[in-house]
């Protein structure tokens, strides 16, 4: 999970140059959907239960990443070590955009995160296009609307699961002034109803802290993460996010992660359980 923000970032920065980032799993769809919503995954996720891709790559353990260039496997290994191989593949790949030059401004705005402005710019540009450029613009229009639909769906699911702040984060890029995306009014109405809830402010503030704690987890700062989870439990008591924080804190404590040292040969590198020497006693 610690590689998710990096994968999202690489996908958003490089997709215009043809970079494709895909996460592959064989878990059931219902678990994958929850995982996507919980971890704010923005790049594509594919469920393959037949293990054919694992056999092609030669997966020896999990997690495993692979870099392909022109359908040829360039590298495989742990995700944390993929940077060099990915950078080399990007240098050898195309440097220009796969999209027409007339759409470069739209793509730049989209990748910058302003999804509302990107669609507006696309619609201003389309009347000036013709031929293949116009066909590309039509495909881009469909892609943007599909992404907004996914974001609104994931936003709704995140809020229903008790992650209100994350739900807001997922929806907001598409809700700017003058947004022309489908379901905008419906989504805004849903968010307005949520804001009327007496516990709204505590849920959102707690959710913001929850994201901070998750970042600490990804950086293997487990003791600090537990402290933040405890802070959420106190300041956002009696909320859904406080319940999630308690569950997350217990998971770290029960897994003996507080105190884990990546440089210690006795600490478990796979589970991140701290050894007896480094293990910290933490109570909720």
Q: What is the pLDDT of residue 56?
A: 81
Helix axes of 184-195 and 131-160: crossing angle, nearest 10 degrees: 20
DSSP string, 33-78: HHHHHHHT--S-EEE--S-HHHHHHT--SSS-EEEEETTEEEEEE-
How far, in Å, CA of 46 to CA of 50, rounded?
12
201 Cβ neighbours under 8 A, 6+ residues apart: none
Contact residues for 261 (Cβ-Cβ < 8 A; gap 6+):
267, 274, 275, 278
Q: Where are the beta strands (DSSP E) in the chain?
A: 23-25, 45-47, 65-69, 72-77
Which residues of the chain form CATH 3.40.30.10?
4-92
Per-residue pLDDT of the chain (284 residues; tens, 9 = 90+): 456 666 767 766 666 567 778 888 888 877 777 677 667 677 788 888 777 778 888 877 778 888 888 888 888 888 778 778 878 877 777 666 667 889 989 988 988 889 999 999 999 999 999 999 999 999 999 999 999 999 999 999 999 999 999 999 999 999 999 999 999 999 999 999 999 999 999 999 999 999 999 989 888 899 999 999 999 999 999 999 999 999 999 999 999 999 999 899 999 988 999 999 999 999 88
CA atoms within 13 A on the CB side of 272: 16
CA-CA distance, 21 to 97, in Å (whole number)? 16
Name the CATH superfamily housing domain 4-92.
Answer: Glutaredoxin (3.40.30.10)
**Whole-number pLDDT of residue 61:** 72
- CA pair distance 104, 98, nearest whole angstrom: 10
At 86 the pLDDT is 79
CA distances for 186 relative to 42, 151, 154, 159, 175, angstroms = 22, 13, 14, 15, 11
pLDDT at 8: 67
**Is the entire prediction scored with pTM above 0.85?**
no
Are the beta carbons of 235 and 227 closer than 8 angstroms?
A: no
State yes or no: cis peptide before 63, omega within 30 of 0: yes
């Amino acid at each position: 999970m610690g590689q998710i923000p990096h994968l999202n970032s690489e996908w958003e920065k490089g997709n215009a140059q043809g970079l494709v980032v895909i996460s592959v799993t064989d878990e059931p769809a219902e678990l994958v959907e929850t995982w996507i919503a919980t971890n704010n995954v923005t790049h594509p996720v594919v469920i393959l239960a037949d293990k054919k891709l694992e056999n092609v790559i030669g997966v020896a353990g999990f997690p495993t990443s692979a870099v392909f260039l022109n359908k040829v496997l360039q590298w495989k290994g742990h995700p944390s070590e993929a940077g060099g191989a990915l950078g080399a593949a990007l240098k050898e790949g195309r440097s220009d955009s796969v999209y027409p030059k007339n759409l470069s401004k739209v793509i730049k705005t989209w990748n910058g995160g302003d999804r509302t402005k990107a669609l507006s710019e696309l619609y201003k540009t389309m009347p000036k296009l013709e031929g293949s450029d116009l066909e590309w613009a039509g495909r881009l229009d469909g892609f943007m609307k599909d992404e907004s639909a996914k974001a609104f769906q994931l936003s709704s699911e995140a809020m229903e699961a008790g992650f209100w702040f994350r739900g807001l984060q997922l929806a907001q890029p598409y809700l700017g002034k003058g947004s022309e995306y489908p379901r905008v009014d419906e989504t805004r109405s849903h968010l307005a109803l949520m804001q009327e809830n007496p516990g709204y402010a505590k849920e959102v503030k707690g959710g913001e802290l929850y994201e901070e704690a998750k970042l600490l987890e990804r950086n293997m700062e487990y003791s600090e993460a537990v402290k933040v989870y405890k802070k959420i439990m106190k300041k956002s008591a009696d909320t859904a996010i406080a319940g999630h924080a308690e569950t997350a804190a217990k998971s770290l404590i029960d897994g003996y992660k507080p105190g884990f040292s990546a440089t210690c040969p006795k600490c478990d590198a796979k589970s991140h359980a701290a050894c007896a020497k480094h293990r910290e006693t933490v109570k909720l």
